[in-house]
Amino acid sequence: MNNNITSSFADKYSINFNSVVAFFIGVFFALIQFCYFFILEAYVSSRVSIYFIALLFWLIGFFIGLRLKSNNLLLKLLVASLVLYYITLFFNILIPFEKTSLLLSGTAILISGLSPGYYFIYAKKKFSKIKLLFLHENNGFILGVILSFSGVYFSGSWMLYFAPLISFLIVFALLSFSTDKKREQT
């Protein structure tokens, strides 16, 4: 009986843990996406076309990410997102309002967009119902939107420099913990 209780708790815990991962990964996606928008807005142009281009590249990346077939790409894609984000940030700060930066930024955004698309493929089996995956990821995204807006109003540089990194580290820790847990179970 004790075993049953433990296993049911473990099952429940496992679901909750996956929800936490989905939630924080949603926060990370929102922060990185909105930080890209803010970089372009502050260091390239506030024209609406810039916003459209950024969103277009993000969605194309997302679309391709959903179609990726390889396994175990998530962490690599997340790291690539983060690295490219910082390259874009520093390039735009060092050479602001540069027309060619849009090409670099667009490519970086497209590649960063791969990870959210791929995440849904990666995480689908971890949830009993697909709606829970969507729900928790989107709730995290909402928190990320709130953090992005408040950050950019009251501590612009700090937000652009550190928020994506911090949220990435949380996601990284959660994913590592999840892998360790899996190994222990095996």
Find the shortest distance in angstroms from Cβ 65 to another protein. 9
Q: Which of 126, 121, 116, 131 is nearest to 24 (CA)?
A: 116
Find the shortest distance in angstroms from Cβ 84 to another protein. 20
Find the shortest distance in angstroms from Cβ 4 to another protein. 27
Q: Which is nearer to another protein, 90 or 177 (CB)?
A: 90
**Site residues (vs another protein, CB under 8 A):** 41-42, 44-49, 52, 55-56, 59-60, 62-63, 66-67, 96-97, 99, 117, 120-121, 124, 129-131, 134-135, 138-139, 141-142, 145-146, 149-150, 152-158
Q: Which is nearer to another protein, 131 or 183 (CB)?
A: 131
Q: Which is nearer to another protein, 161 or 172 (CB)?
A: 161
Find the shortest distance in angstroms from Cβ 183 to another protein. 26
Q: Which is nearer to another protein, 104 or 181 (CB)?
A: 104
Q: Which is nearer to another protein, 139 or 181 (CB)?
A: 139
